[in-house]
């Protein structure tokens, strides 16, 4: 059973540069938690001392510690003051709903030699975490059956993890906590604008950008246009080059996903935002994405087109049904509430994007638009997701590039794949 918990923890910590682990007395330690350095400490004071000199991308593993702690808020406060914004706390906790079973299991030395005496519910955990400046971004319930049973236990655990009420029978939880930290400065921003046959929208994409209060880089990625989009990008770049740092790129591959990857590989800003060149998401709204990240509301900012009424003609009826379906499906698969999984506008840090790339290489590479391959690792790694509601507008120039049935099948395939790999399994390790 501890191997299941260790695998669940390692699926997250392996994307961090450093792991500091504190283990409750008698609980087995988890080896190989990170590609880099893993430090084990014996006590809370030693943990806080070790964190004082840790890099920003540090994971803190509390293995059974919260079940042996009488002031969880104080412990989390101390950790919050010593880790960076991109650090995470991963807590392995014993379930409060099955404490009588845990006492039996503890007697058999399957869980621990030291019986836990603090049992905290999910509601209490979220409350205490909030008081200490944390947000619970992910809760995994991997151990309903604590025995292997010749492989049957593993199969049942993966199945039960996907069933809403049965998963509460898990004997242990793996919880990811995100420190809520606002930025004191204005981070630099790189805006990727994929454009194919969007000549009439290029200049407006620049002139309608708001003032972000920091340096802004705009990366136009042109994709085999036939209407003079590339010439228009070059004209606009020379005209507005004194106001923005403008990079003009041409795709060798095809599709928006390829365009975003090319743009991200050349981006130099602290943050990366994606803005579709059709301008159906008003460029003026990008400041809300930027402010949400800067103020620490989440580390992955996602647009939501489905909350407000749309302009007439902005989205066809079947497309809207598909968007609603995939938003609900991914919310279930990723165990994170997502209002709109296919909105093209997103914002995240460039450093986190590099982790997304590593995650994608392990998971699979078949997303036609690039939305899922960003959302999947953002949720799996516990970045925290917040939706920015927008009013979706009808395009003023050009036509949609979406092939709803073909692309819908590709997205459905990725959703099903994600269900078995993530909801019924655990995140891929690099």
What's residue 169's pLDDT?
A: 79
- DSSP helix/strand/coil, 42: coil
For the domain that residue 325 is a member of, what is the CATH number? 3.90.550.10
CB 271 within 8 A of CB 293: yes
- Mean pLDDT of the region 348-356: 95
In this predicted model, what pLDDT tens digit does every residue of 43-84 receive, in sequence order? Answer: 889 999 989 887 788 999 999 899 888 899 999 999 999 999
Characterise 279 by phi-psi region: left (phi > 0), alpha (psi -120 to 50), beta (else).
left
Whether residue 7 is found in the same domain as residue 77? yes
Domain boundary among 151, 179, 207: 179
Q: What is the pLDDT of residue 325?
A: 92
Domain boundary among 130, 155, 179: 179
Binning pLDDT at 50, 70 and 90, where does residue 429 land? low
Task: Tell me the per-residue pLDDT of 4-49, one tens digit each, with 9 for 90 and over.
Answer: 788 888 888 889 988 999 988 656 566 666 666 888 888 889 999 9
Compute the average pLDDT of residues 110-130: 76
Mean predicted lDDT score pLDDT of the chain: 86
Q: Which domain holds residue 199?
A: 189-423
Which is nearest to 44 in space by CA: 18, 74, 81? Answer: 74
pLDDT, residue 109, reads 44
Q: What is the token pair recorded at 149? A: 């049973």
In a domain, 171, yes or no: yes
On whether both 238 and 348 belong to a single domain, the answer is yes
In which band, very low, low, confident or very high, does the pLDDT at 182 lie, cut at 50, 70 and 90? Answer: very high
Q: Are residues 10 and 150 in the same domain?
A: yes
Where are any strands of DSSP class E within 201-307? 216-222, 245-250, 271-274, 300-304
The mean per-residue pLDDT over the stretch 415-429 comes to 76
Question: Does residue 50 share a domain with residue 13?
Answer: yes
Whether the Cβ atoms of residue 259 and residue 223 lie closer than 8 Å to each other? yes
Residue 271 sits in the same domain as residue 373: yes
List, for residues 380-410, the tens digit of each pLDDT value: 999 999 999 998 888 676 666 666 677 778 8
Would the pLDDT of 350 be above 90?
yes
Q: How far apart are CA 423 and CA 418, in angstroms?
A: 7
342 with 371: CB under 8 angstroms? Answer: yes
Domain containing residue 6: CATH number: 3.40.50.150
DSSP E strands in 142-223: the ranges are 172-179, 189-195, 216-222
Ranges 135-144, 291-300, 403-412: which has the least confidence: 403-412
| Predicted pLDDT at 112 | 46
Q: Read off the pLDDT band of 158 (50, 70, 90).
A: confident
Number of domains forming the structure of the chain = 2
């Amino acid at each position: 059973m501890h191997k299941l918990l260790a695998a669940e923890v390692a699926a997250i910590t392996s994307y961090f540069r450093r792991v500091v682990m504190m283990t409750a007395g008698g609980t087995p330690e988890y080896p190989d938690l990170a590609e880099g350095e893993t430090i084990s400490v014996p006590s809370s004071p030693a943990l806080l001392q070790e964190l004082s000199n840790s890099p920003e991308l540090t994971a803190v593993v509390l293995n059974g510690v919260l079940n042996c702690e009488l002031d969880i808020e104080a412990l989390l406060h101390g950790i919050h003051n010593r880790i960076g914004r991109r650090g995470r706390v991963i807590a392995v906790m014993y379930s409060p709903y099955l404490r009588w079973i845990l006492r039996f299991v503890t007697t058999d030395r399957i869980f621990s030699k030291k019986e836990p005496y603090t049992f905290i519910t999910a509601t209490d955990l979220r409350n205490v975490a909030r008081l200490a400046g944390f947000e619970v971004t992910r809760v995994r319930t991997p151990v309903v059956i604590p025995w292997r049973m010749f492989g049957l236990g593993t199969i049942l655990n993966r199945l039960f993890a996907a069933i809403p009420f049965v998963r509460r029978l898990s004997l242990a939880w793996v919880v990811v906590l995100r420190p809520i930290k606002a930025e004191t400065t204005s981070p630099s921003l790189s805006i990727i604008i994929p454009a194919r046959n969007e000549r009439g929208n290029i200049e407006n994409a620049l002139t309608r950008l708001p003032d972000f209060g920091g340096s802004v880089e705009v990366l136009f990625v042109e994709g085999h246009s036939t209407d003079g989009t590339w010439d228009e990008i070059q004209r606009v770049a020379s005209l507005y080059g004194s106001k923005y740092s403008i990079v003009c790129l041409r795709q060798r591959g095809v599709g928006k996903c390829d365009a975003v990857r090319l743009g991200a590989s050349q981006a130099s800003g602290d943050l990366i935002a994606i803005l579709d060149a059709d301008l159906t998401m008003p460029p003026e709204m990008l400041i809300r994405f930027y402010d949400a990240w800067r103020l620490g509301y989440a580390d992955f900012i996602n647009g939501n087109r489905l909350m407000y009424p749309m302009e007439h003609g902005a989205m066809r009826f079947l497309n809207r049904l598909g968007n609603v379906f995939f938003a609900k499906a991914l919310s279930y698969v990723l165990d994170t509430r997502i209002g709109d999984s296919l909105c093209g506008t997103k914002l995240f840090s460039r450093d986190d994007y590099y982790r997304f790339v590593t995650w994608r290489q392990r998971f699979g590479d078949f997303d036609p638009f690039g939305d899922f391959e960003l959302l999947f690792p953002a949720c799996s790694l516990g970045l925290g997701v917040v939706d920015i509601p927008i009013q979706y507008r009808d395009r003023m120039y050009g036509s949609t590039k979406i092939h709803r049935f073909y692309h819908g099948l590709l997205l459905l395939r990725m959703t099903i794949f994600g269900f078995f790999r993530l909801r019924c399994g655990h995140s891929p390790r690099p």
